[in-house]
A = this chain, B = another copy of it.
Amino acid sequence: MKIAVVGGGSTYTPELVEGFARRSQVLAVDELVLHDLDSDRLDLVGGLARRIMARQSFAGRLATTTTLDDAVDGAEAVLVQLRVGGQRTRLVDETLPGRFGLLGQETTGPGGFAKALRTVPVVLGIADVVAKRAQPGAWIVDFTNPVGIVTRALLDAGHRAVGLCNVAIGIQRRLAAGFGVDPGRVRLDHAGLNHLSWVRRVLVDGVDRLPELLASDEVGELEAEAAVPVQLLRTLGAVPSYYLHYFYCTDRVVRAQASGPRRAEEVLEIERTLLQMYADPALDHKPALLEQRGGAYYSEAAAALVTSLLTGDGAHHYVDVRNDGTIAGLPDEAVVEVPALVDRDGPHPVRTAPLAPEMLGLVQAVTGYEILTISAALTGDRRVALRALLANPLVRQWDLAEPLLDAILDADRAHLPRFFPGSQPEPAATVEGVDG
């Protein structure tokens, strides 16, 4: 059994490797291949990964390669966790929208739009190689942001793909810790789109404990989790994902962003330190600093999901999948983020109660934006890109959409060959897709 990781030079990779090593009893991985365009980084990360595997007596082989064909050849699962253009493009996503008084964030709003335009064609290109060279029926597991859009683009193109995000598992684990129970006893009624989801019930041994949490003094932790006032939680009767505070408190965030530090710059700094640590031949476990990088429980979620897909254990995951009636009021083709039991046929979403109107309306609007964004990314059609920005609730206004699009196309020109036919794209330098 072979598993490939595209974007394997990510500083997250040691975490992922630990995850597979921990599960070696149930998932016998013979070969784990890390692929990246940056061979120096691959060496550093691959070195640490090998030492972790040795410490954990993981029997499988670890390979590194800068050749995609070699990476995916005969693989049964391909994890995609790349970032086109690296942290430098992220900095643009986070800062450019502020020039228009808009939110700067790498998955939500104009920044997420720009990232989608850059990323969708690259991931589809990788998927085509997977379709040709991996095992028949191989799974693509996408952690590349924006996960919802990228997964939908993969599914629309006929690939066998599942999207994965660590938002839901993070809430679930922190709540389980709060209740002092084993995580296996906590299930979230979590529904929406990727980075646009709400936890509507918190089932501990099948009993909803959210109402009591919302009424209690401990609600402050939920408030911190969601980054919105507790009164909003009580009004909704639900816990919105962290990314929803960009919708519920936009002006406050935009004001803060005008002066505050940029996440991209913080991450660059953390990554620099991490890579120095990885270079230490004595290091054989993931450093504590990695947790500041974000992506908590990423390893757990990813390794467990791949296990379910390849062994068919029917376990419960929070995944991004084709809607097909799971959330009423959305088209079948929409990609939603919901709990599912997962086996070799893929995710089987758990039955889901309808979204409240104030949630559904936002989800429907963003779904419209996603369709148009994928279409724009694939065609390079400027008019469709404008319609996508009009459809985005954080842009909406024509007076903003037009100059904003010009600025994005200008800043990302090197990574948007479909909008600039004849131009030579920069290499889709990868590295790491999990948000943080």
Identify the A interface with B (CB < 8 A).
Answer: 137, 206, 228-229, 231-232, 234-236, 247-252, 312-316, 324-325, 329, 331, 340-341, 343-345, 348-351, 356-358, 360-362, 364-369, 371-372, 383, 386-388, 390-391, 393, 396-400, 402
Contacts and interface: CB of A to CB of B under 8 A. Distances in A.
A85 to B, nearest CB: 27
A399 B252 contact: yes
A357 B348 contact: no
A229 to B, nearest CB: 6
Given A360-B364, A364-B360, A365-B361, A249 B388 contact: no
A341 B344 contact: no
A324 B351 contact: yes
Nearest to A373: B357
A318 B267 CA distance: 49
* Interface pairs A-B: 7 shortest CB-CB: A314-B314, A361-B368, A357-B368, A361-B365, A364-B364, A358-B391, A325-B325
Nearest to A228: B398
Nearest to A375: B357
A402 B247 CA distance: 15
Contacts of A344: 206
Nearest to A137: B206
Which of A325, A360, A365, A393 lies at the interface centre, i.e. has the most chain B CB atoms within 10 A of its CB? Answer: A365
Given A368-B361, A369-B357, A371-B357, A314 B341 contact: yes
Contacts of A345: 350-351
Contacts of A387: 235-236, 356-358
Contacts of A231: 398, 402
A402 B234 CA distance: 13
A366 B228 CA distance: 23
A325 B206 CA distance: 25
Contacts of A402: 231
A365 B351 contact: no
